[in-house]
Structures are given as structure tokens and as C-alpha cells.
Amino acid sequence: MVGVAAAVILWFSSVSSEPQRVLSNKIEETIILPKGTPERFRQLPEVTRYLHDLSSLRRQGKTVLPLDNDELDHDGTIAQAIVLNDSRFLEDTTRNGEILHNDMMQVRPAIVSELTAKTQKICKRHRCYEAQKYNFATNTTTRAIIDIDTKNVLDIERFSDSQPDINRRLTRIAEAIALGAPEVWKALGYRPARNELSMANVRSSLQGSPCENSEHLCVAPTFADHKKARALWAIVDLTDLKLAAAKWAGLGKTTTPACIDERTLQNRYIMRNFCQKDTHLQKNGWEFIYRLTGSDGLEIRDVRFHGHPVLRSAKIVDWHVSYQQASDAPIDTSTEAYIEGRRVEFVQERNGSYFFGYNDAMGCPMFSTSVVLPFNGPQIVSLTDGFAISQDFRNPKWPMACNYRYENRFEFYNDGSFRVVGINKGRGCGDQAIYRPVMRIDTALSDTERFFSFEHGKWKLWQKEAKARQNDGGYEEGKYRFKITDTQGHGYRIEPGSGKFSDGGRGDDARIYVTRFHPKEGDKDLLTLGSCCNLSEDGPERFMKPPETIADQDIVLWYVPRIHNDARSGHEYCWADTHIDANGNVKVEVWPCSVGPRFIPLQKER
């Protein structure tokens, strides 16, 4: 019988391991990024109750949300009461008088082997408990050892950037978010029940937090589909109480929760869908393709409106970032300087002040020269009279100092007008920043285009490649500074931003350059263009030497706004800051600045 049993075991062990390995190799990874806002999860009863509990706690002036009784035995209840009255345990629960979000996570009998020699001696004789709390605002776990018999806290240790096992309350919330996410229903093809979900191996998932932001507390509830040997991993962010991402993958080794952090999923999703291929969009009479470039951000190409060509390409190729500083001493620019690991360029002015800064390239998250990375892929947003396509780019550590966040946005209106928009969301290195996004707009009206500027009450045709300032000439009807047409007079009037677009913009103060089209001058990816900090040059000048004829030629517009940021309280602009929100978590507040010209069809004006 032993032999039979052994044969059966061997037979099944060899059979059961092989198909899993083979199948897991065959399952193609599918990544799902959430579409809706995180606020939708606040309607879930588990989340509502939790937020209510946190709110009540703060009203009572208490700082740590205790464990529910169903998680505590008799001595555990005593241990929790002791530790929640210990000032050392609670000392990191406030900052500048504000209560930070702290939850008790575990209260359990202490394991002697994990104790120090000193506490080991005591705990061999007394009943000892271990209590853990987690500080969501600082991503810190605090562990205390409590002597139940003497009612003393024996030892306290704090572990920064460390996350504990989660308590039952948070487990239920994670499950509720995973079960309540429409993205999960869609991926599974039905609305799952609680018994289909597993939260196994939660601890290992926390060894490398799977969140986009590794300073958030995240877990990965899983829905297994054994028939197809695959599983849907849902990454739930318990700091922001939202679904962060989800992934279909095989049941093999490489799909353990620790292997599916949100940033990695985002990178793969964006590479496959927007860097490796073009996407076609047709909406409201508009039609174009879009893609993410290696260093020129989001690009739209072959734009048509009701079948008529409008743009060959539009993109923001660079953000020049410079900071002005006063200095009596000459600046030594003979060697390169670096701030936060990034090369800084210095340009000395005649008056003694100097500019320093960077050139920020935006683009694909992998295999690119980009330093500001895309998040979530391009989004299509509805407007009251049209729609927009936008892409969010961020330094991974934004909004920390010297980290940046930009949005590339193209707005398309039902009347045939469109706008190229650059949005800066701070925070940068300081409050003396000058941002210059370099927009390349290649119109496709015909091969023979004409460019005009409004000067002294009349439209003046440009014959040769040249530059103009937005604020140097006049405006037709108070808003149109330039126009571009074909030889028949069809085309667009151009309205630079002057604070009238109802987006909080304070005006573009733009320089516009018009060059003759040459494929090598930016039709493909452009590397960093020009100096970050020499304000007398924006970059496109290099394509105007010597100036070529542009009248009745295929031309390209370069539009370079100039924005000064503002960090003064009540006047913030191109700025971001953090504060502690009503739940004691760190929240980012953003004061964006939007720039960019709107193109209005001339046909409509007639």
C-alpha cells in the first residue's frame, strides 16, 4: 500500500507542477488602470464607516484609531489601553499640532525570540504583548512591547519606510474596494462575491509596496481563475482608499504580489499601448492619431476636422526651467554643477544676477531620454463644447522640491477651433522660476502656407523665417495676434493666452517663431532644444540660420510662453504644496498654470 501511495503521490506531483509552469508562461499579462476618480470608493459602507471613525477620533482629540474588540483577546485589550496612553508610543502622531493618520494594526502575544535580551528576561516571567501601529502620513511602523502584569511599556521601536501586517478592518476595506471596482467586474466579466477573493500572503506583498507611491500602504487582493490558470491581482491603496491598478497574470512564480507594483504596471501598459504604437481617435468631427514620444511628450498627428487637414503634428518638445538668483560674486561655470542629481546650467547676467536650471524632456517611461515620466496614459476628457486629450507627466518624487509635474493637453472644439495647452503643476526648486514650454505646431493647411502678424492695425505677411513677441504688436478684435492661411485665405486666427481662457492662466508672454518645414527640424523626436537659462534664446532660433523664405511654403510654428511661478500664499501659480487633510493623511494641493494658443477657423469668422 505504501508503494501504491508513493506511486500516486509521485504521479500527481509530477502532473500538477508541470501544467502550472507551462500555462503560466503562456498567459499574457494584461494591465488595467482605473478610469474613475478615487472618490467613488468613499460611497462603500466599509469606507464610509472607516472615515466616520477617523473623524470621530479626531473630534475626541485622540490620535490613533484602535483595533476593534473582535481583533483583541482579554490581555490584548489591556495591552492596547496601556500603549494608547503611553506618550512615547504616541509621540509621532502629531506634527505642528495637527493630528496625523495612525491606525493600530496588531496587538498579540509577544514572540520571545523577537525581543531584546533585556525584555526577554522580563517576558519569560511575565505576560508580554506586542502592539504595532502604522503612521500613514510618514509611512512609519511603531512597535511596542507591553508587560501586562506590571502594566508597563518595556520597549518602543520605530521603523521608517516600513509597513506592518494590516488589521481586519483594513482587510475588509481592501476587499470592499476590490469587489466594488467596476474595473474588476469588467475584467472578470461579472460582479464577484467575497468568497472568490483571497488576501493570502499579504505580508509578502508588503515587502515591496506595490503602490505607485512606495510610501503608501497597499495590498493585493486576488481573484483566481483556476480553469484558465490565471489570477486577477487588484492593487488597493489603503492610504488613498482606492484601486491603484489591476493585472491579469498566470499563477506562476512571477505573479506574486511583490512583483506587480503600480509603477511597473504603468510603465508596461504605457509602453505597449502608447509608445510602441499609434492610437487612432475619431470624435465630434475630429480625427487624429496620438502617441507618446521618447522626449517630446504627447504628440498628435494627422489631425483632420470633417475630413479637412488641420495639423501634421503638434507637441511640446521641452520645458526650459530657470531660476534667477542675485549674486555679487562671479559664478564659476568651468565645471558642471548638479542639484538633486540633475545637471544644472548657469548663465550669468550683466547686472550680477544669474540664472540656473534644467531642460526637462517628457516622454516614454522606458527606452527614452525622458526625465519626467507619464502616468496613466493619455486621457480623453469631455468639455462642454468639445473634448480634450491630455497626458500627465511627473517626476516620481513630485511634489518634493526640484521635482516637476507637467500636463500636455490638446483641446478640440465643436466649432473647429483647437488649442495646444501646456500646464505646469510645480513644484520646482523655488519661487523664482521661469518656465518656458517649447510648443511645436506644424499646420497642414496646404504645402503653400502664409503667416501674418497683426501690426499697427493691419495684417502683415511674413516673407522670411522670423520671431515675434506676443506683447509687441496689436490684437485684432482685442485677441487675435497672428493668423495662418493657405493661398485661398482659409486657415486660422491665433489667440495667444492672455488670461481670458477661464483656466486660471495669467497670460502667455509668448515668443513665436515661424520656420520652413524640414523633416530633420523636429518632425521626429527632438532632443533637448536650446538653453534652459539663456532667456534671450528659446531654442528654435537654430532652425532660422540663415532665414529662409516662408511665404507660400510649408511652415512650422514654434510657440514659447514664458511663465513666472508664484509661491506667495493666496497668489500661488505653477506651484504645489502638501498639507495634512481632515483624515490626517498627507495631501497635495496644486495651483496649475496653463498656457498655449487657441486657433480659430477663419471660415467661421466670415
Partner 1 sequence: MRRYLPVLVSIAFIIALLLFVADYRGMFETKKLLLGSLNKTRSCAHLPNFLQGLEKPIVIDLTQQRFSGIAFLYGKRHHAFYRKDWARFGSFGTYTLDEQGTIFLAPMPFISIKEKTFERQKSLYRIDSDKGVLSLWKTLENVRPSASNPYGIISLVYDCENNALWVGAIDRSDYRKANGRIYRIDKQHAKITQTIKGFDALSLALGRTEDGTITLLAGSAKDGGLYAFRLSSDGTAETPEKLFELPDPKLHIRKIKVIGRNEIIVEAIPFSYALIAQTSKQYRVIYRAQYTPRTGRWNIKHVE
Q: In angstroms, what is the minimal distance from the CB of 306 to partner 1?
A: 35
Binding of partner 1 by 271 (CB under 8 A): yes
Binding of partner 1 by 6 (CB under 8 A): yes
Binding of partner 1 by 276 (CB under 8 A): yes
Binding of partner 1 by 7 (CB under 8 A): yes
Binding of partner 1 by 295 (CB under 8 A): yes
Nearest CA to 557 out of 290, 281, 315 is that of 315
Contact residue for partner 1 among 3, 61, 189, 478 (CB under 8 A): 3
SS3 202: helix
Binding to partner 1, residues 528-567 (CB under 8 A):
528
Tell me the CA distances in angstroms from 274 to 28, 281, 294, one per residue in order. 18, 13, 11
Would you say 22 or 366 has its CB closer to partner 1? 366
Cβ-based neighbours of 175, under 8 Å, separated by 6 or more: 46, 194, 197, 199, 221
- Here the cell at position 240 is 488613498
Place of cell 483647437: 418
Place of cell 469606507: 47
Contact residue for partner 1 among 16, 282, 335, 488 (CB under 8 A): 335
Place of cell 487612432: 280
Would you say 334 or 569 has its CB closer to partner 1? 334
- Residue span binding partner 1 (CB under 8 A) among the ranges 10-18, 81-89, 236-244, 549-557: 10-18
**How many helices (H) does the chain have, and how many strands (E)?**
10, 37
Tell me the CA distances in angstroms from 498 to 239, 440, 459, 538, one per residue in order. 39, 19, 20, 20
Buried b (16+ CB within 10 A) or exposed e, 335-359: eeeeeeebebbbbeeeeeebbbbbb
Would you say 285 or 396 has its CB closer to partner 1? 396
Tell me the CA distances in angstroms from 483 to 263, 466, 469, 557, 561, one per residue in order. 43, 15, 14, 11, 17
What is the residue-wise DSSP string for 521-556?
A: TTTS-----S-SS-TT--SGGGGGSSPPB-TTB-EE
- Here the cell at position 234 is 487588484
Contact residue for partner 1 among 196, 486, 525, 577 (CB under 8 A): 525
- Residue span binding partner 1 (CB under 8 A) among the ranges 170-178, 229-237, 260-268, 545-553: 260-268
Would you say 318 or 509 has its CB closer to partner 1? 318
Binding of partner 1 by 1 (CB under 8 A): yes
161: left (phi over 0), alpha (psi -120 to 50) or beta: left
Q: In angstroms, what is the minimal distance from the CB of 530 to partner 1?
A: 11
Binding to partner 1, residues 366-395 (CB under 8 A):
366-371, 373
Tell me the CA distances in angstroms from 285 to 282, 306, 417, 443, one per residue in order. 7, 5, 12, 18
Q: Where are the beta strands (DSSP E) in 431-554?
A: 433-443, 449-455, 458-461, 466-469, 482-486, 491-495, 511-516
Contact residue for partner 1 among 169, 242, 263, 427 (CB under 8 A): 263
Would you say 217 or 270 has its CB closer to partner 1? 270
- Residue span binding partner 1 (CB under 8 A) among the ranges 34-42, 223-231, 329-337, 433-441: 329-337
Binding of partner 1 by 365 (CB under 8 A): yes
Binding to partner 1, residues 11-30 (CB under 8 A):
11, 14
Cβ-based neighbours of 67, under 8 Å, separated by 6 or more: 76, 80, 104, 105, 106, 107, 167, 168, 169
**Residues 174-213, mask of contacts with partner 1 (x by CB under 8 A):** ---------------------------------xx-----
Contact residue for partner 1 among 38, 396, 473, 547 (CB under 8 A): 396
Check whether the bond before 378 is cis (ω within 30° of 0): no
Q: In angstroms, what is the minimal distance from the CB of 513 to partner 1?
A: 21
Q: In angstroms, what is the minimal distance from the CB of 351 to partner 1?
A: 26
* C-alpha span between 152 and 149 (Å, rounded): 8
- Residue span binding partner 1 (CB under 8 A) among the ranges 102-110, 265-273, 446-454, 561-569: 265-273
Tell me the CA distances in angstroms from 428 to 111, 339, 424, one per residue in order. 47, 11, 10
Q: In angstroms, what is the minimal distance from the CB of 2 to partner 1?
A: 7
* C-alpha span between 602 and 485 (Å, rounded): 8
- Here the cell at position 34 is 482605473
Contact residue for partner 1 among 202, 224, 259, 289 (CB under 8 A): 259
- Residue span binding partner 1 (CB under 8 A) among the ranges 2-10, 45-53, 157-165, 226-234: 2-10
**Residues 226-255, mask of contacts with partner 1 (x by CB under 8 A):** ----------------------------x-
- Residue span binding partner 1 (CB under 8 A) among the ranges 19-27, 70-78, 399-407, 523-531: 523-531
Q: In angstroms, what is the minimal distance from the CB of 546 to partner 1?
A: 21
Strand partners, 573: 566
Would you say 279 or 487 has its CB closer to partner 1? 279
Site size toward partner 1, by CB under 8 A = 49
What 3 state SS string does 109-169 have? Answer: ECCHHHCCHHHHHHHHHCCEEEEEEEECCCCEEEEEEEECCCCEEEEEEEEECCCCCCCHH
Binding of partner 1 by 435 (CB under 8 A): no
Binding of partner 1 by 275 (CB under 8 A): yes
Would you say 69 or 254 has its CB closer to partner 1? 254
- Here the cell at position 378 is 493619455
Would you say 158 or 469 has its CB closer to partner 1? 158
Where do contacts with partner 1 occur on this chain (CB under 8 A)?
1-4, 6-7, 10-11, 14, 207-208, 254, 258-259, 261, 263-264, 267, 271-272, 275-276, 294-295, 334-336, 338, 341-343, 345, 358-359, 361, 363-371, 373, 396, 525, 527-528
